[in-house]
Structure 1
Amino acid sequence: MKKFLLSTLCVISPFVYSSTEAVYLHYDEVLDGVTDFQKQLKLNIDLSGNTVIGKTEAGALISGNVENTNSQYIGSGEKPRFQFEIHNGETRNWYFGNVNGKYWEGVWFGANGEKGDFSLYTDLLTKEVPQFENIIAYYADEVFQLGGNNTHNSLNSSFLIDSDNLEPHFINDEYFDTSNGLFLQADVRDGNLPLSFYIDYKKPMPMKTFRLGSFNNGEGTRLRTFSFDIWKDGDWQTVENFEFAPIYAPTYQRQEFSLPRTVYAERIRISATATDDYTDGSKLLMWGLSFKR
Protein backbone atom coordinates (compact mmCIF):
# COMPACT_ATOMS: atom_id res chain seq x y z
CA MET A 1 0.00 0.00 0.00
CA LYS A 2 1.30 3.46 -0.87
CA LYS A 3 2.40 5.74 1.93
CA PHE A 4 2.22 9.53 2.15
CA LEU A 5 5.47 11.10 3.36
CA LEU A 6 4.94 14.08 5.65
CA SER A 7 8.55 14.94 6.45
CA THR A 8 12.01 14.09 5.23
CA LEU A 9 13.18 10.55 5.87
CA CYS A 10 16.67 9.60 6.96
CA VAL A 11 18.51 6.32 6.56
CA ILE A 12 18.27 4.52 9.89
CA SER A 13 19.27 1.21 11.43
CA PRO A 14 16.61 0.34 14.02
CA PHE A 15 17.22 -2.06 16.85
CA VAL A 16 15.26 -3.22 19.87
CA TYR A 17 15.81 -4.72 23.30
CA SER A 18 14.06 -5.04 26.64
CA SER A 19 15.24 -4.28 30.16
CA THR A 20 14.39 -4.09 33.84
CA GLU A 21 16.31 -2.06 36.37
CA ALA A 22 18.09 -3.42 39.45
CA VAL A 23 18.07 -0.96 42.36
CA TYR A 24 18.74 -1.13 46.09
CA LEU A 25 16.07 -0.21 48.62
CA HIS A 26 17.78 1.03 51.81
CA TYR A 27 15.70 0.89 54.98
CA ASP A 28 15.79 0.96 58.76
CA GLU A 29 13.43 -0.25 61.46
CA VAL A 30 12.87 3.02 63.33
CA LEU A 31 10.18 5.38 62.03
CA ASP A 32 11.77 8.79 62.65
CA GLY A 33 11.92 10.40 59.21
CA VAL A 34 15.59 9.54 58.65
CA THR A 35 16.83 6.53 56.70
CA ASP A 36 19.80 5.08 58.57
CA PHE A 37 20.78 2.68 55.75
CA GLN A 38 20.82 -0.21 58.22
CA LYS A 39 19.57 -2.79 55.73
CA GLN A 40 18.95 -3.14 52.03
CA LEU A 41 16.90 -5.12 49.51
CA LYS A 42 17.88 -5.63 45.89
CA LEU A 43 14.89 -5.04 43.60
CA ASN A 44 14.25 -5.46 39.90
CA ILE A 45 11.51 -2.96 39.12
CA ASP A 46 9.87 -1.30 36.15
CA LEU A 47 6.94 0.98 35.37
CA SER A 48 4.02 0.00 33.16
CA GLY A 49 2.36 3.37 32.78
CA ASN A 50 1.76 4.36 36.39
CA THR A 51 1.97 0.78 37.68
CA VAL A 52 5.04 -0.35 39.62
CA ILE A 53 5.93 -3.97 38.88
CA GLY A 54 8.86 -6.20 39.74
CA LYS A 55 10.45 -8.71 42.10
CA THR A 56 13.00 -8.73 44.87
CA GLU A 57 16.23 -10.65 44.46
CA ALA A 58 14.59 -13.44 46.49
CA GLY A 59 11.63 -13.56 44.09
CA ALA A 60 9.00 -11.72 46.16
CA LEU A 61 6.50 -9.86 43.97
CA ILE A 62 6.34 -6.06 43.95
CA SER A 63 3.20 -4.18 42.91
CA GLY A 64 1.96 -0.61 43.28
CA ASN A 65 1.52 2.67 41.46
CA VAL A 66 2.78 6.23 41.02
CA GLU A 67 0.32 9.09 40.62
CA ASN A 68 0.19 11.57 37.76
CA THR A 69 1.29 15.03 38.85
CA ASN A 70 -0.80 18.20 38.83
CA SER A 71 -4.08 16.37 38.25
CA GLN A 72 -7.26 17.93 39.62
CA TYR A 73 -9.01 14.60 39.17
CA ILE A 74 -6.88 12.83 41.79
CA GLY A 75 -5.76 15.84 43.83
CA SER A 76 -2.05 15.57 43.04
CA GLY A 77 0.60 18.29 43.06
CA GLU A 78 4.05 18.84 41.61
CA LYS A 79 5.78 15.92 43.35
CA PRO A 80 4.46 12.46 42.48
CA ARG A 81 3.47 10.22 45.37
CA PHE A 82 3.76 6.46 45.22
CA GLN A 83 2.78 3.32 47.06
CA PHE A 84 3.83 -0.27 46.52
CA GLU A 85 3.75 -3.60 48.31
CA ILE A 86 6.33 -6.35 48.63
CA HIS A 87 4.61 -9.72 48.94
CA ASN A 88 6.26 -11.87 51.61
CA GLY A 89 4.41 -15.15 51.37
CA GLU A 90 1.05 -14.62 53.06
CA THR A 91 1.98 -11.16 54.38
CA ARG A 92 2.90 -7.90 52.70
CA ASN A 93 5.04 -4.90 53.57
CA TRP A 94 3.59 -1.56 52.51
CA TYR A 95 5.74 1.34 51.25
CA PHE A 96 4.54 4.94 50.86
CA GLY A 97 6.34 8.11 49.85
CA ASN A 98 7.07 10.73 47.22
CA VAL A 99 9.56 11.21 44.41
CA ASN A 100 12.11 13.98 43.94
CA GLY A 101 13.80 13.42 40.58
CA LYS A 102 15.54 10.06 40.88
CA TYR A 103 15.23 9.92 44.67
CA TRP A 104 12.31 7.97 46.16
CA GLU A 105 11.81 8.13 49.91
CA GLY A 106 9.13 7.36 52.43
CA VAL A 107 7.97 5.06 55.20
CA TRP A 108 7.18 1.35 55.33
CA PHE A 109 4.95 -0.81 57.51
CA GLY A 110 5.10 -4.55 58.06
CA ALA A 111 2.22 -6.89 58.78
CA ASN A 112 3.05 -7.29 62.49
CA GLY A 113 3.82 -3.75 63.59
CA GLU A 114 7.25 -3.39 61.99
CA LYS A 115 7.91 0.06 60.57
CA GLY A 116 10.67 2.36 59.45
CA ASP A 117 12.04 4.72 56.83
CA PHE A 118 13.38 3.82 53.41
CA SER A 119 14.86 5.30 50.25
CA LEU A 120 15.89 4.15 46.80
CA TYR A 121 17.51 5.77 43.79
CA THR A 122 16.10 5.08 40.33
CA ASP A 123 15.54 6.89 37.04
CA LEU A 124 12.20 5.19 36.34
CA LEU A 125 10.35 8.53 36.34
CA THR A 126 13.07 10.46 34.51
CA LYS A 127 13.70 8.06 31.63
CA GLU A 128 13.33 9.48 28.17
CA VAL A 129 10.16 8.73 26.24
CA PRO A 130 9.32 9.79 22.66
CA GLN A 131 8.44 13.46 22.28
CA PHE A 132 7.79 15.71 19.29
CA GLU A 133 11.43 16.81 19.13
CA ASN A 134 12.52 13.17 18.68
CA ILE A 135 10.51 12.73 15.47
CA ILE A 136 12.23 13.00 12.10
CA ALA A 137 9.33 11.71 10.00
CA TYR A 138 5.62 10.96 10.25
CA TYR A 139 3.69 9.42 7.39
CA ALA A 140 0.45 7.54 6.82
CA ASP A 141 -1.31 5.33 4.31
CA GLU A 142 -2.50 7.19 1.24
CA VAL A 143 -6.20 6.78 2.03
CA PHE A 144 -5.84 9.38 4.80
CA GLN A 145 -5.18 12.14 2.23
CA LEU A 146 -8.08 11.54 -0.16
CA GLY A 147 -10.17 14.39 1.26
CA GLY A 148 -13.64 14.52 2.76
CA ASN A 149 -13.81 12.04 5.63
CA ASN A 150 -10.34 10.77 4.67
CA THR A 151 -7.99 13.18 6.38
CA HIS A 152 -5.15 13.54 8.86
CA ASN A 153 -3.11 16.17 10.67
CA SER A 154 0.33 17.02 9.37
CA LEU A 155 3.22 16.69 11.79
CA ASN A 156 2.89 19.49 14.37
CA SER A 157 4.41 20.46 17.71
CA SER A 158 1.52 18.88 19.64
CA PHE A 159 2.46 15.37 18.46
CA LEU A 160 3.06 12.92 21.34
CA ILE A 161 1.99 15.42 24.01
CA ASP A 162 0.03 13.73 26.81
CA SER A 163 -2.91 16.10 26.50
CA ASP A 164 -5.39 14.76 29.07
CA ASN A 165 -6.01 12.18 31.79
CA LEU A 166 -8.14 9.88 29.61
CA GLU A 167 -11.34 11.79 30.33
CA PRO A 168 -13.98 11.84 27.55
CA HIS A 169 -14.29 14.89 25.28
CA PHE A 170 -17.78 15.58 24.00
CA ILE A 171 -18.13 16.70 20.39
CA ASN A 172 -19.22 20.20 21.52
CA ASP A 173 -16.27 20.61 23.91
CA GLU A 174 -14.84 24.02 22.99
CA TYR A 175 -11.51 23.17 24.64
CA PHE A 176 -10.91 20.03 22.56
CA ASP A 177 -9.14 20.73 19.27
CA THR A 178 -8.64 17.85 16.83
CA SER A 179 -6.27 19.97 14.73
CA ASN A 180 -3.52 19.47 17.34
CA GLY A 181 -1.49 16.31 17.76
CA LEU A 182 -1.98 13.09 15.86
CA PHE A 183 -5.40 12.73 14.21
CA LEU A 184 -6.42 10.44 11.34
CA GLN A 185 -9.80 9.34 10.02
CA ALA A 186 -10.98 7.43 6.96
CA ASP A 187 -13.94 5.70 5.37
CA VAL A 188 -13.16 1.98 5.42
CA ARG A 189 -14.43 0.28 2.27
CA ASP A 190 -13.57 -2.69 0.07
CA GLY A 191 -11.65 -4.49 2.79
CA ASN A 192 -8.80 -1.96 2.87
CA LEU A 193 -7.89 -2.66 6.51
CA PRO A 194 -5.36 -2.59 8.04
CA LEU A 195 -4.71 1.14 7.77
CA SER A 196 -1.52 2.44 9.32
CA PHE A 197 0.54 5.42 10.36
CA TYR A 198 4.30 5.47 10.91
CA ILE A 199 6.75 7.46 13.04
CA ASP A 200 10.53 7.59 12.64
CA TYR A 201 12.74 8.85 15.48
CA LYS A 202 16.20 10.41 15.43
CA LYS A 203 17.51 7.58 17.61
CA PRO A 204 16.19 4.40 19.26
CA MET A 205 13.56 5.42 21.81
CA PRO A 206 12.25 3.38 24.77
CA MET A 207 8.55 2.56 24.58
CA LYS A 208 6.26 0.48 26.75
CA THR A 209 3.11 2.31 27.89
CA PHE A 210 1.22 4.53 25.48
CA ARG A 211 -2.15 6.18 24.98
CA LEU A 212 -4.29 6.25 21.84
CA GLY A 213 -7.80 7.55 21.24
CA SER A 214 -10.82 7.05 19.01
CA PHE A 215 -14.35 8.41 18.59
CA ASN A 216 -17.97 7.28 18.82
CA ASN A 217 -20.73 9.46 17.37
CA GLY A 218 -23.47 6.96 18.18
CA GLU A 219 -22.78 4.49 15.38
CA GLY A 220 -20.04 2.57 17.17
CA THR A 221 -16.45 3.18 18.27
CA ARG A 222 -14.26 3.86 15.24
CA LEU A 223 -11.46 1.56 16.40
CA ARG A 224 -11.83 -2.00 17.67
CA THR A 225 -8.41 -3.65 17.26
CA PHE A 226 -4.93 -2.47 16.30
CA SER A 227 -1.33 -3.64 16.27
CA PHE A 228 1.91 -2.01 17.45
CA ASP A 229 4.89 -2.88 15.23
CA ILE A 230 8.59 -2.00 15.21
CA TRP A 231 11.07 -2.07 12.34
CA LYS A 232 13.78 -4.62 13.07
CA ASP A 233 16.30 -6.44 10.87
CA GLY A 234 14.81 -4.98 7.70
CA ASP A 235 11.20 -5.97 8.37
CA TRP A 236 8.17 -5.12 10.48
CA GLN A 237 7.72 -7.15 13.66
CA THR A 238 4.51 -7.03 15.70
CA VAL A 239 5.18 -6.39 19.38
CA GLU A 240 1.54 -6.74 20.45
CA ASN A 241 -2.06 -6.70 19.21
CA PHE A 242 -4.60 -4.69 21.21
CA GLU A 243 -8.35 -4.35 21.64
CA PHE A 244 -9.80 -0.87 22.03
CA ALA A 245 -12.71 -0.93 24.49
CA PRO A 246 -16.00 0.65 23.34
CA ILE A 247 -16.45 4.28 24.35
CA TYR A 248 -19.65 6.19 25.03
CA ALA A 249 -21.21 8.42 22.40
CA PRO A 250 -20.88 11.15 21.40
CA THR A 251 -17.29 11.47 22.64
CA TYR A 252 -13.63 11.32 21.77
CA GLN A 253 -11.62 9.39 24.34
CA ARG A 254 -8.16 7.89 24.76
CA GLN A 255 -7.20 4.62 26.43
CA GLU A 256 -3.92 3.39 27.91
CA PHE A 257 -2.06 0.32 26.67
CA SER A 258 1.17 -1.44 27.64
CA LEU A 259 3.52 -3.48 25.51
CA PRO A 260 4.61 -6.80 27.07
CA ARG A 261 8.13 -5.40 27.52
CA THR A 262 10.05 -2.18 27.04
CA VAL A 263 11.25 -1.92 23.46
CA TYR A 264 13.77 0.43 21.88
CA ALA A 265 13.24 1.26 18.22
CA GLU A 266 13.80 4.04 15.69
CA ARG A 267 10.67 3.31 13.66
CA ILE A 268 7.16 2.27 14.69
CA ARG A 269 3.90 1.47 12.92
CA ILE A 270 0.42 1.44 14.44
CA SER A 271 -2.16 -0.32 12.28
CA ALA A 272 -5.93 -0.27 12.76
CA THR A 273 -7.23 -3.76 11.99
CA ALA A 274 -10.96 -3.44 12.83
CA THR A 275 -13.63 -0.84 13.63
CA ASP A 276 -17.08 -1.00 15.23
CA ASP A 277 -18.59 1.86 13.19
CA TYR A 278 -20.17 0.22 10.14
CA THR A 279 -22.01 3.30 8.89
CA ASP A 280 -21.83 3.68 5.09
CA GLY A 281 -19.20 1.00 4.72
CA SER A 282 -17.65 1.66 8.16
CA LYS A 283 -15.39 4.39 9.49
CA LEU A 284 -12.03 4.58 11.28
CA LEU A 285 -10.55 7.23 13.57
CA MET A 286 -7.36 7.40 15.66
CA TRP A 287 -5.99 10.36 17.61
CA GLY A 288 -3.85 11.56 20.51
CA LEU A 289 -0.91 9.14 20.57
CA SER A 290 1.45 9.74 23.50
CA PHE A 291 3.90 7.67 25.55
CA LYS A 292 4.27 7.28 29.31
CA ARG A 293 7.35 6.52 31.37
Structure 2
Amino acid sequence: MIISHKIAALTATLTTALSLLAAPAMAFSVGPTNNTEILKNNLLGANTAGLSNFSVSIMGDSAAFGTFTKDPFGLTSGVVLSTGKVADIPGQNRYDNDKIGSDLSTDFGPEGEEGDLTQLTLSFFANSTVEKLFFQYVFASEEFPEFGGSKKYNDNFELLLNGTNLAKLRDGKTVTINNLVPDPKKRSKDHPDYINNPSLTGIAANIVKLDGFTKVLGFEGLLKQNQTNVLSIRIKDVGDGKLDSAVFIKGGSVGTVQPEPVPEPMTVGGLMAGGAMLAAGRKLRNRRGGSN
Protein backbone atom coordinates (compact mmCIF):
# COMPACT_ATOMS: atom_id res chain seq x y z
CA MET A 1 0.00 0.00 0.00
CA ILE A 2 2.85 2.39 0.91
CA ILE A 3 4.62 1.59 -2.37
CA SER A 4 1.48 2.27 -4.41
CA HIS A 5 1.07 5.68 -2.72
CA LYS A 6 4.70 6.54 -3.49
CA ILE A 7 4.26 5.48 -7.12
CA ALA A 8 1.12 7.58 -7.42
CA ALA A 9 2.93 10.61 -5.99
CA LEU A 10 5.87 10.07 -8.33
CA THR A 11 3.54 9.74 -11.31
CA ALA A 12 1.96 13.09 -10.45
CA THR A 13 5.40 14.72 -10.17
CA LEU A 14 6.49 13.28 -13.51
CA THR A 15 3.29 14.50 -15.14
CA THR A 16 4.03 18.01 -13.87
CA ALA A 17 7.58 17.83 -15.20
CA LEU A 18 6.45 16.59 -18.59
CA SER A 19 3.99 19.47 -18.84
CA LEU A 20 6.86 21.89 -18.30
CA LEU A 21 8.76 20.36 -21.19
CA ALA A 22 5.80 20.40 -23.57
CA ALA A 23 5.43 23.97 -24.78
CA PRO A 24 2.17 23.57 -26.76
CA ALA A 25 0.43 22.07 -23.72
CA MET A 26 1.38 24.99 -21.51
CA ALA A 27 -0.21 27.84 -23.53
CA PHE A 28 1.50 30.34 -21.24
CA SER A 29 -0.05 33.75 -21.79
CA VAL A 30 0.35 37.27 -20.43
CA GLY A 31 -2.25 40.01 -20.69
CA PRO A 32 -0.90 43.54 -20.22
CA THR A 33 -3.03 45.75 -17.98
CA ASN A 34 -2.44 48.70 -15.69
CA ASN A 35 -6.00 48.57 -14.34
CA THR A 36 -5.41 48.66 -10.59
CA GLU A 37 -8.73 46.98 -9.79
CA ILE A 38 -7.86 44.00 -12.01
CA LEU A 39 -4.39 43.75 -10.50
CA LYS A 40 -5.79 43.92 -6.95
CA ASN A 41 -8.42 41.26 -7.60
CA ASN A 42 -5.80 38.91 -9.07
CA LEU A 43 -3.49 39.33 -6.08
CA LEU A 44 -6.05 38.77 -3.33
CA GLY A 45 -7.65 35.43 -2.57
CA ALA A 46 -10.10 34.03 -0.06
CA ASN A 47 -7.66 34.17 2.88
CA THR A 48 -7.86 37.86 3.69
CA ALA A 49 -9.94 37.71 6.88
CA GLY A 50 -8.75 40.46 9.20
CA LEU A 51 -7.66 42.67 6.32
CA SER A 52 -9.73 45.48 4.81
CA ASN A 53 -9.67 48.81 2.95
CA PHE A 54 -7.48 47.54 0.11
CA SER A 55 -6.12 49.99 -2.42
CA VAL A 56 -3.56 49.61 -5.22
CA SER A 57 -1.36 52.21 -6.87
CA ILE A 58 1.28 51.71 -9.56
CA MET A 59 4.37 53.47 -10.82
CA GLY A 60 6.00 52.83 -14.19
CA ASP A 61 5.14 52.25 -17.83
CA SER A 62 1.66 50.86 -18.47
CA ALA A 63 3.16 48.03 -20.57
CA ALA A 64 5.15 46.80 -17.56
CA PHE A 65 2.10 45.41 -15.67
CA GLY A 66 -0.13 42.47 -16.44
CA THR A 67 -1.74 39.20 -15.51
CA PHE A 68 -0.62 35.72 -16.53
CA THR A 69 -2.01 32.19 -16.81
CA LYS A 70 -0.53 28.69 -17.27
CA ASP A 71 3.01 29.74 -16.42
CA PRO A 72 5.96 27.27 -16.46
CA PHE A 73 6.88 27.97 -12.82
CA GLY A 74 3.97 26.24 -11.13
CA LEU A 75 2.13 29.39 -10.01
CA THR A 76 -0.85 28.73 -12.35
CA SER A 77 -1.93 32.38 -12.66
CA GLY A 78 -1.40 35.79 -11.13
CA VAL A 79 0.17 39.22 -11.60
CA VAL A 80 3.44 40.03 -13.38
CA LEU A 81 5.60 43.16 -13.20
CA SER A 82 8.59 43.76 -15.46
CA THR A 83 11.19 46.38 -16.32
CA GLY A 84 10.14 45.76 -19.92
CA LYS A 85 6.96 44.88 -21.79
CA VAL A 86 5.20 41.97 -20.07
CA ALA A 87 3.56 40.97 -23.38
CA ASP A 88 7.01 40.02 -24.73
CA ILE A 89 7.79 37.48 -21.98
CA PRO A 90 6.08 34.34 -23.40
CA GLY A 91 7.79 32.64 -26.33
CA GLN A 92 10.97 30.85 -27.30
CA ASN A 93 14.20 31.85 -25.61
CA ARG A 94 16.60 32.34 -28.54
CA TYR A 95 19.46 34.23 -26.90
CA ASP A 96 21.19 33.87 -23.54
CA ASN A 97 24.26 36.02 -24.07
CA ASP A 98 23.95 39.79 -24.36
CA LYS A 99 26.92 39.96 -26.75
CA ILE A 100 24.98 37.85 -29.26
CA GLY A 101 21.51 39.25 -28.73
CA SER A 102 18.66 39.52 -26.27
CA ASP A 103 15.03 38.40 -26.33
CA LEU A 104 13.91 40.90 -23.68
CA SER A 105 15.55 44.33 -23.61
CA THR A 106 13.00 47.14 -23.54
CA ASP A 107 14.30 50.51 -22.37
CA PHE A 108 11.37 52.77 -21.47
CA GLY A 109 13.56 55.73 -20.53
CA PRO A 110 16.28 57.69 -22.33
CA GLU A 111 18.69 55.16 -23.84
CA GLY A 112 21.78 54.48 -21.76
CA GLU A 113 20.33 55.89 -18.54
CA GLU A 114 19.51 53.88 -15.45
CA GLY A 115 15.79 53.54 -14.94
CA ASP A 116 12.74 51.47 -15.85
CA LEU A 117 11.30 51.40 -12.34
CA THR A 118 8.11 49.35 -12.02
CA GLN A 119 6.28 49.34 -8.71
CA LEU A 120 2.93 48.13 -7.38
CA THR A 121 1.86 49.29 -3.92
CA LEU A 122 -0.90 47.55 -1.99
CA SER A 123 -2.25 49.36 1.09
CA PHE A 124 -4.61 47.72 3.56
CA PHE A 125 -5.79 47.80 7.18
CA ALA A 126 -4.94 44.86 9.47
CA ASN A 127 -7.00 44.28 12.62
CA SER A 128 -5.89 42.62 15.86
CA THR A 129 -6.76 39.08 14.71
CA VAL A 130 -3.99 38.76 12.10
CA GLU A 131 -0.23 38.59 12.54
CA LYS A 132 1.40 37.89 9.17
CA LEU A 133 1.07 38.45 5.44
CA PHE A 134 1.95 35.66 2.99
CA PHE A 135 2.18 35.07 -0.75
CA GLN A 136 4.23 33.16 -3.34
CA TYR A 137 6.32 34.50 -6.19
CA VAL A 138 9.08 33.89 -8.76
CA PHE A 139 11.81 36.35 -9.70
CA ALA A 140 13.27 36.06 -13.22
CA SER A 141 15.68 38.01 -15.39
CA GLU A 142 17.29 38.32 -18.78
CA GLU A 143 20.50 39.28 -16.94
CA PHE A 144 21.03 35.66 -15.85
CA PRO A 145 23.59 34.23 -15.81
CA GLU A 146 26.22 36.39 -17.51
CA PHE A 147 25.75 39.46 -15.29
CA GLY A 148 25.89 37.51 -12.04
CA GLY A 149 28.59 39.04 -9.85
CA SER A 150 28.42 42.38 -11.68
CA LYS A 151 28.66 45.50 -9.53
CA LYS A 152 27.29 47.77 -12.26
CA TYR A 153 24.47 45.72 -13.79
CA ASN A 154 22.38 44.02 -11.14
CA ASP A 155 18.66 44.74 -11.44
CA ASN A 156 17.09 45.68 -8.14
CA PHE A 157 14.16 43.67 -6.76
CA GLU A 158 12.43 44.27 -3.44
CA LEU A 159 9.28 43.21 -1.61
CA LEU A 160 8.85 45.96 0.96
CA LEU A 161 6.42 45.48 3.83
CA ASN A 162 6.17 48.77 5.71
CA GLY A 163 9.57 49.72 4.33
CA THR A 164 11.44 46.48 5.11
CA ASN A 165 12.65 44.31 2.22
CA LEU A 166 11.47 40.74 2.80
CA ALA A 167 12.35 39.27 -0.61
CA LYS A 168 14.37 36.35 0.74
CA LEU A 169 15.84 33.12 -0.59
CA ARG A 170 15.38 29.98 1.49
CA ASP A 171 18.67 30.53 3.29
CA GLY A 172 17.72 34.08 4.27
CA LYS A 173 19.77 35.89 1.64
CA THR A 174 18.05 38.65 -0.31
CA VAL A 175 16.74 37.84 -3.78
CA THR A 176 19.34 39.41 -6.06
CA ILE A 177 21.01 38.35 -9.29
CA ASN A 178 24.39 38.30 -7.53
CA ASN A 179 23.13 36.05 -4.72
CA LEU A 180 21.56 33.64 -7.22
CA VAL A 181 24.51 33.55 -9.62
CA PRO A 182 27.63 34.79 -7.75
CA ASP A 183 30.04 33.87 -10.55
CA PRO A 184 28.86 33.05 -14.09
CA LYS A 185 32.23 31.34 -14.76
CA LYS A 186 31.79 29.00 -11.79
CA ARG A 187 28.29 27.65 -12.18
CA SER A 188 28.76 25.21 -9.33
CA LYS A 189 28.30 28.23 -7.06
CA ASP A 190 24.77 28.92 -8.35
CA HIS A 191 22.26 29.21 -5.51
CA PRO A 192 20.04 26.12 -5.04
CA ASP A 193 16.98 28.35 -5.52
CA TYR A 194 18.12 29.28 -9.05
CA ILE A 195 16.94 27.55 -12.24
CA ASN A 196 18.91 28.28 -15.40
CA ASN A 197 16.92 28.56 -18.63
CA PRO A 198 19.46 28.70 -21.48
CA SER A 199 18.33 29.41 -25.02
CA LEU A 200 16.72 26.49 -26.86
CA THR A 201 17.81 23.88 -24.28
CA GLY A 202 16.39 25.24 -21.01
CA ILE A 203 13.58 23.43 -19.20
CA ALA A 204 11.20 26.28 -20.17
CA ALA A 205 13.09 27.65 -23.19
CA ASN A 206 10.14 27.04 -25.49
CA ILE A 207 7.72 28.72 -23.09
CA VAL A 208 9.38 31.80 -21.59
CA LYS A 209 12.15 34.03 -22.95
CA LEU A 210 13.74 34.86 -19.59
CA ASP A 211 17.21 33.31 -19.19
CA GLY A 212 16.80 32.23 -15.58
CA PHE A 213 14.37 32.27 -12.68
CA THR A 214 13.99 31.24 -9.07
CA LYS A 215 12.07 28.33 -7.72
CA VAL A 216 8.74 29.36 -6.20
CA LEU A 217 9.59 31.43 -3.13
CA GLY A 218 7.43 32.32 -0.16
CA PHE A 219 6.94 35.79 1.27
CA GLU A 220 6.25 36.11 5.00
CA GLY A 221 6.10 39.34 6.99
CA LEU A 222 4.79 40.60 10.33
CA LEU A 223 1.88 43.00 10.11
CA LYS A 224 1.22 46.11 12.16
CA GLN A 225 -2.04 45.35 13.95
CA ASN A 226 -4.85 47.88 14.00
CA GLN A 227 -2.94 49.98 11.49
CA THR A 228 -2.63 50.56 7.78
CA ASN A 229 0.09 48.39 6.22
CA VAL A 230 1.86 48.98 2.91
CA LEU A 231 3.29 46.29 0.62
CA SER A 232 5.43 47.55 -2.27
CA ILE A 233 6.46 45.17 -5.06
CA ARG A 234 9.38 46.93 -6.72
CA ILE A 235 11.64 46.03 -9.64
CA LYS A 236 14.17 48.34 -11.33
CA ASP A 237 16.86 48.27 -14.00
CA VAL A 238 20.29 49.13 -12.59
CA GLY A 239 23.21 50.52 -14.60
CA ASP A 240 21.09 51.03 -17.70
CA GLY A 241 17.56 50.37 -18.94
CA LYS A 242 18.35 47.21 -20.86
CA LEU A 243 17.86 43.47 -20.19
CA ASP A 244 14.49 43.07 -18.53
CA SER A 245 13.72 41.47 -15.18
CA ALA A 246 10.30 40.36 -13.93
CA VAL A 247 8.45 39.14 -10.87
CA PHE A 248 5.45 36.81 -10.97
CA ILE A 249 3.05 36.83 -7.98
CA LYS A 250 0.81 33.79 -7.57
CA GLY A 251 -2.81 34.78 -8.00
CA GLY A 252 -4.93 34.67 -4.85
CA SER A 253 -1.96 33.89 -2.62
CA VAL A 254 -1.73 37.32 -0.96
CA GLY A 255 -3.39 36.86 2.41
CA THR A 256 -3.03 35.89 6.05
CA VAL A 257 -2.81 32.10 5.55
CA GLN A 258 0.44 30.51 4.42
CA PRO A 259 -0.11 28.93 0.95
CA GLU A 260 0.62 25.27 0.29
CA PRO A 261 4.09 24.63 -1.22
CA VAL A 262 4.28 24.54 -5.02
CA PRO A 263 5.98 21.45 -6.56
CA GLU A 264 9.41 22.29 -7.94
CA PRO A 265 10.10 22.03 -11.68
CA MET A 266 12.32 19.07 -12.53
CA THR A 267 15.37 19.01 -14.75
CA VAL A 268 15.58 16.63 -17.69
CA GLY A 269 18.07 14.56 -15.67
CA GLY A 270 15.66 14.39 -12.76
CA LEU A 271 12.87 13.42 -15.12
CA MET A 272 14.93 10.53 -16.48
CA ALA A 273 15.82 9.39 -12.97
CA GLY A 274 12.18 9.60 -11.95
CA GLY A 275 11.18 7.56 -15.00
CA ALA A 276 13.64 4.85 -14.00
CA MET A 277 12.21 4.78 -10.48
CA LEU A 278 8.69 4.57 -11.84
CA ALA A 279 9.64 1.66 -14.10
CA ALA A 280 11.26 -0.13 -11.15
CA GLY A 281 8.11 0.35 -9.09
CA ARG A 282 5.98 -1.14 -11.86
CA LYS A 283 8.29 -4.15 -12.08
CA LEU A 284 7.99 -4.66 -8.33
CA ARG A 285 4.21 -4.49 -8.50
CA ASN A 286 4.13 -6.92 -11.42
CA ARG A 287 6.36 -9.38 -9.56
CA ARG A 288 4.23 -9.22 -6.46
CA GLY A 289 1.09 -9.60 -8.51
CA GLY A 290 2.55 -12.68 -10.18
CA SER A 291 3.46 -14.30 -6.89
CA ASN A 292 -0.05 -14.07 -5.46
User: Common fold, TM-score beyond 0.5?
Assistant: no
TM-score, normalised by the number of residues in structure 1:
0.35
Whose helix fraction is larger, Structure 1's or Structure 2's?
2
Q: TM-score w.r.t. structure 2 length?
A: 0.35
Choose between structure 1 and 2: higher strand proportion: 1
Larger radius of gyration: 1
